[in-house]
Structure 1
Amino acid sequence: MERETTYCCDHHVDIAFDDFLVDNETFPYLVNITGHKCTYCNKEASYALKSRP
């Protein structure tokens, strides 16, 4: 399942990165963000993993 953006907190960045690689078969573009919730635990997200433009 391809995801365009995955949001993650500091604690879940490793698993988010791994899942993104599996789902999209490519490396994500990592961006510092605010105003979103972590996909894994619903805490405040620190990063967004996005497909490269």
Structure 2
Amino acid sequence: MIYSCEEHVDIALDDIVDEFMTFPVLSKVDGDNLSTSCEYCQNPATYMVANK
């Protein structure tokens, strides 16, 4: 699972495909996880990208 901002969501999608060889699942971060930061730049995360 990767948390990413709007700017880095394409990189997160590519990373999931490369690592797990499957379609990624893209979810919008809800109000409970707004303090979660992007794993690429530390800005607030907008999306969660997962393999399942």
Q: Runs of 5+ in structure 1 lacking a partner?
A: none
Structure 1 counterpart of 2:27? 31
Point out which structure has higher relative CO (alpha carbons under 8 A, 6+ apart): 2
Q: Runs of 5+ in structure 2 lacking a partner?
A: none
CA distance in 2, matches of 1:44, 1:10: 9
CA distance in 1, matches of 2:50, 2:13: 10
Q: CA deviation at 1:26?
A: 0.7
How many residues in Structure 1 have an aligned counterpart in Structure 2? Answer: 48
Give the 4+ runs in structure 1 shifted more than 2 A.
none
CA distance in 1, matches of 2:17, 2:35: 24
**Equivalent residues in 2 for 1:35-50 (5 A)?**
35-50=35-50
CA RMSD of aligned residues (A): 0.9
Other structure's SS at 2:27 match = strand
Q: Aligned partner of 1:30: which letter?
A: L
Q: What's the TM-score, normalizing by structure 1?
A: 0.81
